[in-house]
Amino acid sequence: MSVSGTPQLVFVHGIGGLRDAARERREWLTALAEGARAAGHADAVSGLTQGWLAEVRFADYSDLFTDAEAQGDGPGTLDEQEDAAFMTEFVGSLVDELVRQALERGDRRTAAVAEDARAQLPGDDEDEDDEEQGVGEPFRILGMVLTTLLQVPGLRETAQWASGTPLLWHLAQVGRYLRRREADGTGRTLDARIRERVLKGIDPDRPLFVVSHSLGTVVAFEALRGHRGPVPLLMTLGSPLATGTAVLQRLVPQPPRTPGRVERWLNFWDRDDIVVGRPRLDRWMLPNAAGVVPVTSRVDSDGLWVHTATKYLRQPGVAGPLVEALKK
């Protein structure tokens, strides 16, 4: 039973398949506990796992994507023209970022693979051949691009996708959310139903701490604009929010600004996280009335495939500030 005034901590997941909310809640908490110990907060571990430091919930909206998916390799709700354009832009930005990162590190092999992937991206000159290509051809090409990208040394072994096609369908969830369609029988669009999951059961009279990851950072950002209670800390991990026109310019409201009740916003990125654009979020996000803007910090995880929430949460630089804020 929750105690009146006990902080509320909500985890908001990102792209992927159907989730086991109870299991993932435990995994996120275990990772956070490891990070807390590394940050010198071993005394807070029992409070995290036993629930007296904060009432912890995992906001699971994965079924809203998977219920609408067709049996087979991908979702049956993609719009051929609109989603193809979005995914081409989005995947292109990921490839460009990987090329840039590899060149900065002097990693010529990774840069060569990423350049090969970039060369396969659909171009404007292919528009004239759309009828000959047939339905689904842009997605087939993008799947091949991502399959090539997965050949980066170390990425195939550590990533959770065997080929580019399932990765493409998971990345397409970002486009489906931002398209703001797929209404249910009551007229609520997919994005609205997802945001409702994030705030379901939240007491507006108690402080709310939000830890969001990947697509979940977009969801949390938009969900909090309608939240009336105090938000001492918003934490975004591996966020695509700063991905230029692909994501940033599709956010609501425009121009994007820090949600009104957020008192502090910490944004974390890993240089080896291919789903994250450059940390431009603080430059592109307007402050709220209290002057709050995101503060971005870089972390370095082991392995090339670092786009998992648990890898971020194990970092003492991530777990430390969260635990310190919960203790106040």
Q: Considering the entire predicted model, what is its pTM?
A: 0.87
- Could you give the strand order of the β-sheet that contains 265-270, starting from the edge strand earlier in sequence? 55-59, 8-12, 208-213, 233-237, 265-270, 295-299
For the ranges 93-97, 119-123, 159-163, 232-236, the maximum mean pLDDT occurs at 232-236
| pLDDT value at residue 274 | 64
State how far the Cα of 197 lies from the Cα of 210, in Å rounded to an integer. 13
The HSE-up count of residue 233 (CA atoms within 13 Å, CB side) is 24
Mean pLDDT computed over 49-75: 76
* Cis-peptide, bond into residue 316, ω within 30° of zero: no
- Band of the pLDDT at 197, cuts 50, 70, 90? very high
How high does pLDDT run on average in the chain? 85
Task: Report the SS3 class of residue 279.
Answer: coil
Under CATH, which architecture does the 8-65+185-327 domain have?
3-Layer(aba) Sandwich (3.40)
Question: Are the beta carbons of 326 and 44 closer than 8 angstroms?
Answer: yes
Query: What are the sequence ranges of the domains in the chain?
Result: 8-65+185-327, 80-179
Mean pLDDT computed over 184-212: 95
